[in-house]
């Protein structure tokens, strides 16, 4: 309540798409939300979505390709269930970056195996695509939905998510067209060597995440607001100490709440901690 009221005080309107971009703080938050979701398309997921076709173009037989695809999707389901447990013990950034790191290595190895025509290389590329699917569904696939709902401000959350989803959709169109050209024997006919291309994109996504993606796990919305307002670097979000009540009291004072403590007890105490005065560990 205090978070939303504070943000409404900053503008007479309820927020527009322009508000997501017009100041440096919201521009940063919108950029992170958009690129975070676009990362789902640049990490090699196009290979996962066209796995049966990929297996066949990599030289695996039709029956084996179908079997590999079934195993791959079963592993993906298992990884999604595992991510529910992992999210309790690891941060959003940890799962996002760890998944991308494993996927990057897997994709480059797949590309290397694509340079060989041996049966062992064909089976190896198929097996690694299963690894790719497992870590995609353990890391970036589920955790993105947490991040895109936590990164934007409360007042602009809906519009920021719409912008982020549209960025994802536009990126998906591009990557879907690219993968068809890469695998089609009448076009580029890259086969498993397309792993080099997606490995490079996945690595670029990982580099962006390390530089720009903050850790939001364990933070309340009012705390995240303060960290962004103060321009705390992404890699210091996790290590920055925040007073539980100072920021909420300051926010309440800004909107002329008569008794900030009363509002805090009903809407902030159970959620957490935030302050305008931050101290690094």
Q: Count of residues for the chain?
A: 281
Q: Identify the sign of the CA torsion 125, 126, 131, 135.
A: positive
183 closest CA partner among 168, 194, 172, 174: 194
**Centroid of chain to Cα 239:** 20
What local confidence, expressed as pLDDT, does residue 118 receive?
80
272 closest CA partner among 230, 214, 219, 216: 219
Helices and strands in the chain, H and E counts: 13, 2
CA distance 177 to 154: 35
What local confidence, expressed as pLDDT, does residue 3 receive?
59
Q: What is the dihedral of CA 168, 172, 174, 177, to 10 degrees?
A: 180
Rounded to two decimals, what is the model's pTM? 0.81
What local confidence, expressed as pLDDT, does residue 244 receive?
60
Exposed / middle / buried, residue 269 (Cβ in 10 Å: 0-12, 13-18, 19+): middle
CA distance 70 to 112: 24
**Centroid of chain to Cα 233:** 18
What local confidence, expressed as pLDDT, does residue 251 receive?
59
Query: Would you list the domain boundaries of the chain?
Result: 18-212, 220-280
Helix axes 221-229 and 246-254, enclosed angle (nearest 10): 80
What local confidence, expressed as pLDDT, does residue 8 receive?
58
Q: What is the mean pLDDT of each run of 10 residues along the chain (281 residues)?
A: 57 71 91 95 88 76 82 91 89 93 94 83 83 92 93 90 95 93 86 91 96 91 86 89 67 52 45 45 45
DSSP codes of every residue in 203-250: HHHHHHHHHH----TT--HHHHHHHHHTT--GGGTTTEEE-TTHHHHH
Q: Which CATH class is domain 18-212?
A: mainly alpha
**Unique residue bearing structure tokens 């097996």:** 127
Residue 72 in contact with residue 51, Cβ under 8 Å?
yes
138 closest CA partner among 185, 94, 104: 94
CA distance 92 to 103: 17
What local confidence, expressed as pLDDT, does residue 235 receive?
92
């Amino acid at each position: 309540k205090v978070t939303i009221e504070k943000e409404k005080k900053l503008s007479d309107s309820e927020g527009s798409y322009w508000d997501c971009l017009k100041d440096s703080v919201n521009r940063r938050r919108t950029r992170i939300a958009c690129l975070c979701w676009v990362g789902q398309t640049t990490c090699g997921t196009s290979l996962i979505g066209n796995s049966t076709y990929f297996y066949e173009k990599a030289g695996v037989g039709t029956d084996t390709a179908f079997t590999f695809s079934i195993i791959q999707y079963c592993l993906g389901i298992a990884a999604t269930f595992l991510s529910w447990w992992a999210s309790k013990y690891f941060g959003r950034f940890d799962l996002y970056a760890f998944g991308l790191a494993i996927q990057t290595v897997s994709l480059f190895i797949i590309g290397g195996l694509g340079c060989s025509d041996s049966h062992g290389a064909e089976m190896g590329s198929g097996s690694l695509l299963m690894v790719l699917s497992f870590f995609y569904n353990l890391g970036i696939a589920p955790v993105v939905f947490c991040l895109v709902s936590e990164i934007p401000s409360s007042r602009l959350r809906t519009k920021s998510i719409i912008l982020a989803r549209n960025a994802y959709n536009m990126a998906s169109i591009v990557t879907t067209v690219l993968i068809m050209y890469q695998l089609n024997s009448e076009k580029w006919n890259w086969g498993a060597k397309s792993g080099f291309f997606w490995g490079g994109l996945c690595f670029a996504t990982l580099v962006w995440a390390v530089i720009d993606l903050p850790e939001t796990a364990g933070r309340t919305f009012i705390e995240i607001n303060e960290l962004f307002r103060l321009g705390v670097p992404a890699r210091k979000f996790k290590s920055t100490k925040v007073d539980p009540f100072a920021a909420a009291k300051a926010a309440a004072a800004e909107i002329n709440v008569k008794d900030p403590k009363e509002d805090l007890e009903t809407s902030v105490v159970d959620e957490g901690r935030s302050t305008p005065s931050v101290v690094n560990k």
